[in-house]
Amino acid sequence: MSEEDLNTTKTPLKWIGTPSLGQGRSSGGNAASEIFEAGASQRKRSLLETLVREICQNSLDQRKDKKVKIFFDLIILKGEKKEEFLKSINSETLIPHLSSVKGSSGTALTLKAGLESMKSSDLVCLRISDYGTDGLTGDDWDEKGNFRKLCVQNFSTGKESGLGGSFGLGKAVSWMHSRIFTVLFSSRIEGEKDLRIFGRSELPAHEMNGKSWLDGAYMGSEIKKDGIPVAESTWLKDGDAEKILLNRDNETECGTTILIPTFHEPDRDDTGSSGIREPEELCRDFTEAASKWFWPAISWKRLDFKARVFREEGKSAEFVSEAAANGIWSSFVECGRVEPFENTKSLFPGDSSSIDIEFPIPARVEPSDNPELLHDELKSFVRLGVTRVSSKEESLPCRSTIALIRGSGMVVDYAEGTRLNDGGSYCAAAFVGTSLNEIAESEKTELNKENALFAEEYFRAGEPVTHDDWLPTTRRLRESYTWKGHANRLRGIRYELRQILIQNLLTSFVSRPDEGPEMLRRMLNLGRGMKQKKIQSKARNSSLEVVIDRQRSFFNKKTNGWRITGELVRSGDSKRSAKVHLSFQSIADSGQGEMWGISDMQILGSEKHISLDDSDSKRFVFSAENQFSSVPFECTVKPPIGVNPEIAGFRKVG
């Protein structure tokens, strides 16, 4: 940018809005915030947990050194300290913009409450600092720099390869925790002595002083760009940054500090007038959330996390709480420390076992302008480990679940596990991508190292904006990979892990070679003759039903499919023909499972008075005349490409 475009005469920190010129596009709120408020993930965890997840994930993605240190500092300001802070951030230039937002929308009402909290005796701020990260690099107008991606842009991630995911939609949760939707930043960057300072308020578009303003206001030094006043980040010494609570404990270590003024817990109904619970209780919840979602990173010595309480009376912390990977999380940690040995199972409390599962990664075809990221279809592995827990550990909040983990060291989600018939509990973990480099080695994990980065990127591409699932339906995955033929494997990964966990690691049952997994046989069982009795009790209406015989159905390794035995049964007195269609579908946790193919259909009896339409290999239609009563049949059922029929669950539909 030329000197003619920018008037570089700096002024003190000031909040600057953007005037709406012509048909300037404006917004009535933050779209990313709405996603987090309405997302399915919020039915499973609090916004506080989401805040901890997003902050820690971003910091780990920007990790510069071997370990990242993160501090959540709860600061309560009173009296002169509070007034000094508000004056130092030049709040008098922001308040008029906040006060101009009118109406009964949720944003407007929250801002009104925020303005009232600024007048109260206490001002609650949350300061979050990380050390050992890259910091806010790049100049103010560098679209690829960390500074602009975090502080200015929306819907942008911090690394083009996608291996990170930092500074995307998740950052919106920080603004959601401010009653005035405002966040301040400071950052120490390598080679710079002073701290980089900036601020952003996510207020919606509004009218003020007879003028229209676009959404957002920014705190910095006022300059002119294209003749319009804009805020540019400025540089302050630690002593000056301390006045606005943006000073950093370490004067040399790189990283970023964000400050959330008027901090509150928007999804809690048990808070006081200040918008939070007891500070010490809140800090303990911060560290418990960090332990729950980041015990892998903590146990790998990648993350130190502490929460502290500061009050105006002194500079020393009054309360400190630290996240840990021991205690109730030690059983999960143990899942990654045990090597896989054939026929080793976890049958008693304290037992740990694991297995390596082959998992193909489809070819990547985009971005075509970055050939280093492209690859053909390749082989990777998933390590599934489990630890039986004793009755003394029944209070474990995530017992009998499977922690899904990739290389970032964050638990993507806790997948529901299958209940054990013996009433026991367990902790399980599935490691994918580069996380396999952090656990007990095996012959297969050694083979995985060559493809670990590619596998990591595939699973990362399958995560939605909330980073809490692996789905084949994300736009990024669909556009980047030849995903057809592989979608079912990723869609059904939770179910597959549950089956392997029960069959291979937690039960002593051994199937005969021609049986296949016992649980699949149970699911396939609709009970021979079970529906026949119900059918016969109907009035004169005629119907044709398919009854599967579980005892005679088995998995055939030669055909790599299930040989299904069943019976067609007609009931009722109507002279009209009766129809039924036969099809099979994958059992999937996410979305509707895909259809399986049917072949080699054999009618084991008279075919008189019955006909079959097999024009669709995935949906057979039988028609029976009124003279027909019943006939046995057999057929072979095979899954779509990429699905292992020995493991994947399926059900009869239709």
pLDDT in tens, 595-645: 899 999 999 988 889 999 999 999 999 999 988 999 999 999 998 877 878
Q: Which of 372, 360, 450 is nearest to 160 (CA)?
A: 372
pLDDT at site 259: 96
Say which range, 90-99, 236-245, 583-592, has the weakest mean pLDDT.
Answer: 583-592
pLDDT at site 4: 42
313: confidence class by pLDDT, cuts 50, 70, 90: low
As a whole number, the mean pLDDT across the chain is 84
Between 2 and 593, the more confident residue is 593
Contact indicator for 297, 56 with CB cutoff of 8 Å: yes
Phi, psi of 146 (to 5 degrees): -60, -35
Phi, psi of 212 (to 5 degrees): -95, 140
- 110 dihedral zone (left: phi>0; alpha: psi -120 to 50; beta): alpha
pLDDT at site 46: 87
173: confidence class by pLDDT, cuts 50, 70, 90: confident
Contact indicator for 165, 57 with CB cutoff of 8 Å: yes
pLDDT in tens, 414-459: 999 988 877 789 999 999 999 999 999 999 998 888 899 999 999 9
Tell me how crowded residue 538 is: count the other CB atoms within 10 A of its CB. Answer: 12
Residue 62 tokens read as: 């920007």
Residue 586 tokens read as: 């994958």
Tell me how crowded residue 360 is: count the other CB atoms within 10 A of its CB. Answer: 14
Element (H, E) at 357: strand 352-361
Say which range, 265-274, 386-395, 410-419, 454-463, has the weakest mean pLDDT.
Answer: 386-395
Classify burial at 39, counting beta carbons within 10 Å of its beta carbon; exposed 0-12, middle 13-18, buried 19 or more.
middle
pLDDT at site 522: 46
Contact indicator for 548, 521 with CB cutoff of 8 Å: no
pLDDT at site 290: 97
Angle at 51 between CA 117 and CA 267, to 5 degrees: 55
Q: Is the predicted pLDDT of residue 506 greater than 80, yes or no?
A: yes
Cα gap 86→92, rounded to integer Å: 8
Q: How many residues does the chain have?
A: 654
pLDDT at site 554: 87
Domain boundaries, the chain: 46-322, 329-506, 518-653
Q: Which CATH architecture has domain 518-653?
A: Sandwich (2.60)
44: confidence class by pLDDT, cuts 50, 70, 90: low
6: confidence class by pLDDT, cuts 50, 70, 90: very low
Between 42 and 441, the more confident residue is 441
Largest CA distance in the chain: 96
pLDDT at site 165: 42
Cα gap 276→458, rounded to integer Å: 39
Tell me how crowded residue 396 is: count the other CB atoms within 10 A of its CB. Answer: 18
Element (H, E) at 459: helix 452-461
Q: Which of 206, 234, 207 is nearest to 218 (CA)?
A: 234
Element (H, E) at 287: helix 279-299
Angle at 249 between CA 293 and CA 73, to 5 degrees: 45
Q: Is the predicted pLDDT of residue 517 greater than 60, yes or no?
A: no
* Distances in whole angstroms, Cα of residue 19 to Cα of each of 107, 168, 213, 351, 508: 20, 26, 4, 65, 70
Q: Is the predicted pLDDT of residue 537 greater than 70, yes or no?
A: no
Classify burial at 492, counting beta carbons within 10 Å of its beta carbon; exposed 0-12, middle 13-18, buried 19 or more.
buried
Its sign, for the CA torsion 107, 108, 113, 114, is positive
Angle at 516 between CA 515 and CA 517, to 5 degrees: 120
Between 278 and 18, the more confident residue is 278
Phi, psi of 489 (to 5 degrees): -65, -45
Cα gap 549→558, rounded to integer Å: 21
Q: Is the predicted pLDDT of residue 527 greater than 50, yes or no?
A: no
Say which range, 138-142, 392-396, 399-403, has the weakest mean pLDDT.
Answer: 392-396
Between 109 and 539, the more confident residue is 109
For residue 640, is the peptide bond before it cis, meaning its omega torsion is within 30 degrees of 0?
Answer: no
Residue 273 tokens read as: 């007038």
- 133 dihedral zone (left: phi>0; alpha: psi -120 to 50; beta): beta
* Distances in whole angstroms, Cα of residue 366 to Cα of each of 159, 409, 451, 490: 16, 26, 17, 19
Q: Which of 217, 222, 244 is nearest to 232 (CA)?
A: 222
Q: Is the predicted pLDDT of residue 463 greater than 60, yes or no?
A: yes
306: confidence class by pLDDT, cuts 50, 70, 90: very high
Can you say how many angstroms the Cα of residue 326 is from the centroid of all Cα atoms in its chain?
A: 23
Instruction: Evaluate whether the domain defined by 46-322 bears CATH number 3.30.70.
Output: no
Average pLDDT on 466-484 reads: 91
Average pLDDT on 375-395 reads: 87
The two beta strands, 578-586 and 561-571, are: unpaired
Q: Is the predicted pLDDT of residue 532 greater than 70, yes or no?
A: no
Q: Is the predicted pLDDT of residue 188 greater than 70, yes or no?
A: yes
pLDDT at site 529: 38
pLDDT at site 95: 92
Residue position matching structure tokens 């398919």: 546
pLDDT at site 211: 87
pLDDT at site 589: 65
Torsion of CA 585, 587, 593, 598, to 10 degrees: -20
Q: Is the predicted pLDDT of residue 164 greater than 70, yes or no?
A: no
Residue 510 CB contacts under 8 Å (≥ 6 apart), including other chains? none
Cα gap 198→201, rounded to integer Å: 11
Between 79 and 423, the more confident residue is 79
pLDDT at site 127: 97
Fold agreement (46-322, 518-653): no
pLDDT at site 623: 93
Q: Which of 270, 294, 288, 281 is nearest to 74 (CA)?
A: 281
pLDDT at site 394: 57
